[in-house]
Amino acid sequence: MAPHDLSVLTASRTADSPNRGAGGMDSLRIRGGKPLSGEIRVGGAKNAALPLMAAALLTDGTLTLRNIPRLADIATMTSLLEQHGVTVSFEEPTNGAPGRTAKLCAAGVDNTTAPYDIVRKMRASVLVLGPLLARFGRARVSLPGGCAIGTRPVDLHLKGLEQLGAEIDLDQGYIVASAPKGLTGADVVFPFVSVGATENLLTAAALARGVTRLKNAAREPEVGDLAECLKAMGARIEGIGADTLTIEGVDALSGADHLVPPDRIETGSLAMAAAATGGDVTLVGARPDMLEQVFRAMGQAGAVIDVDGDRVRVRCPRVLGVDVMTEPYPGFPTDLQAQMMAMLARAEGASMVTESIFENRFMHVPELSRMGANINLHGRSAMVRGVNRLTGAEVMATDLRASMSLVIAALAAEGETVVNRVYHLDRGYERLEDKLAPCGAEIERIAG
Ligand code: EPZ
């Protein structure tokens, strides 16, 4: 197999572009202190869309995915799949449909290597490992390194695939996996819950010989959604939504047409922005059933949340201190911990925020402190003592959700905040400033 020249590929193949130009070193200027008020439509879920796109590698049929958000991470996954030889096209929404439609066809895959240059940009690239191995019997995927929120190893992915019969070596920073005679079903017991490992094993098992049982599987809605899409492609899966998934492998999968669910993390983030500013915002096109723990915690913190079908109205006359601990689904998500902390920074009373999923996901704390928050870290817990006011500052974050937490703090703060390195936000929030400005936020993007 000829190694790919990535510079040629990125120049000749057009990935969908993230928000506004290159994103580069853009920043957001926010003048805070105004309650948000109005309606915001929620976009498609990034963390559902990424594994779904990787699942296109499992078939030579066309996988149609609707409601794909316009995000930098989607552009990265598109580039990755294109360099494998997958054709990817996007159609803009018509007739009031919520998001873009992607059509992916992996009939002409000519390269089973996921190169370092793409994987280092986005860890979710490792989700191509299971599908490539299951369909082509081999894959060479750059090992994702650590990242801002922790070391994040992929040992569970690799051990699980070995249990399905894969041979795995590490060579010059790459995972080299092979299964010349195909994969065979097995019982895989995860020692702890991993979303990505469950997704890689689920896609691999769909084409393995015999029955696979994934025990202590992640129950995140994005995992269930991937399983539903695989079923529509012809996979046999039972136990969706439970902690044991049973997969009876089939010889081949076909294309399918699948609707990406709304982004529960975007929904929660916007709800927290509304609450932190004492606003009145209705989120439209949401799936409130995926946010029960989040809305419970927000309710304890003083938010009034009214659910009407796919509409969620959030008001918050005063924010009260509350204790929150992140846990695998259905617990409070780690992906909303930073945003909740920003909301609690101005609470009446103290809150204890405990992070149990990642070892280093408190990068927002020093920046929130620079805006006047009173937060002390004790190991995996943060003691947040509510302050009367936050003040604007120039801040910067090193990951997506931490950046969103700074935006929330900025919206609630007095004066002007400049949030630098907005490319982190563009990885996971579509047109954030365009969604917030109609609700009264004074927010503008400054090209960097
Ligand atoms: C997914 O990451 C999400 N990403 C993350 O969202 C999310 O924070 C995380 O799940 C937890 O909910 C996508 O879905 C694309 P894990 P993933 O494997 O699958 C450890 C965002 O902001 N672990 O469930 O990589 C790991 O280090 C992102 O949108 C191992 O030790 O997370 C972590 O501590 C960030 N070995 C814990 O398990 C392994 O082999 C849970 O990670 C795998 C994981």
Q: What pLDDT is stored for residue 354 in this prediction? A: 98
The yes-or-no answer on residue 147 being catalytic is yes
**Average pLDDT rounded to a whole number, residues 85-94:** 95
In angstroms, rounded to a whole number, what is the distance separating the alpha carbons of residues 360 and 296? 25
Ligand 1 neighbourhood includes 197 CB (under 6 angstroms): yes
Ligand 1 centre distance from Cα of residue 317 (Å): 34
Closest ligand 1 atom to Cα of 73: 15
Q: How sure is the predictor about 19, in pLDDT bands with cuts at 50, 70 and 90? A: very low
Ligand 1 centre distance from Cα of residue 380 (Å): 17
**Degrees, nearest 5: CA angle 414-418-420:** 150
Q: How sure is the predictor about 23, in pLDDT bands with cuts at 50, 70 and 90? A: low
Residue to mutate, 122, 125, 194, 429, ligand 1, most ligand atoms under 8 Å from C-beta? 194
**Average pLDDT rounded to a whole number, residues 198-206:** 98
Buried b (16+ CB within 10 A) or exposed e, 150-183: eebebebbbebbebbbbebeeeeebbebbbeebb
Ligand 1 neighbourhood includes 124 CB (under 6 angstroms): yes
pLDDT greater than 50 at residue 21: no
Structure tokens at 201: 């094993």
Residue pair 415/31 in contact by the 8 Å Cβ criterion: yes
Could you give the 3-state DSSP secondary structure of residue 86?
coil
Q: Which residues contact 166 (CB under 8 A, 6 or more apart)?
A: 133, 177, 178, 179, 183, 204
In angstroms, rounded to a whole number, what is the distance separating the alpha carbons of residues 177 and 185? 17
**Average pLDDT rounded to a whole number, residues 271-289:** 98
Buried b (16+ CB within 10 A) or exposed e, 356-370: ebbeebbbbbebbeb
Residue closest via CA to ligand 1's atom 38 equals 194
Structure tokens at 439: 């609700």
Q: Over the chain, what is the mean pLDDT? A: 93
- pTM for this model (two decimals): 0.95
> What does residue 21 show for φ and ψ, rounded to 5 degrees?
55, -145
From start to end of 57-123, where are the E strands? 62-68, 87-91, 100-105, 113-114
3-state secondary structure 291-337: HHHHHHHHHHCCCEEEEECCEEEEECCCCECCCEEECCCCCECHHHH
Q: What pLDDT is stored for residue 151 in this prediction? A: 76
pLDDT greater than 70 at residue 12: no
Residue closest via CA to ligand 1's atom 42 equals 194
Tens of pLDDT, residue by residue over 418-444, are 999 999 999 999 989 999 999 999 999
The percent of residues above 70 in pLDDT, for the chain, comes to: 94
Q: Out of 18-22, 140-144, 170-174, 183-187, pick the least confident.
A: 18-22
| Bridge partner list, 306 | 313
Residue pair 45/428 in contact by the 8 Å Cβ criterion: no
**If residue 3 lies in a helix (H) or strand (E), which one and from where to where?**
none
Ligand 1 centre distance from Cα of residue 158 (Å): 15
Sheet holding 304-308, edge to edge: 37-41, 280-284, 311-315, 304-308
Residue to mutate, 121, 293, 357, ligand 1, most ligand atoms under 8 Å from C-beta? 357
Residue closest via CA to ligand 1's atom 6 equals 335
Q: How far is CA 263 from CA 1, 103, 114, 153, 323, in A?
A: 38, 20, 26, 25, 24
Residue to mutate, 152, 159, 327, 355, ligand 1, most ligand atoms under 8 Å from C-beta? 152
Tens of pLDDT, residue by residue over 354-398, are 999 998 899 999 999 999 999 999 999 999 999 999 999 999 988
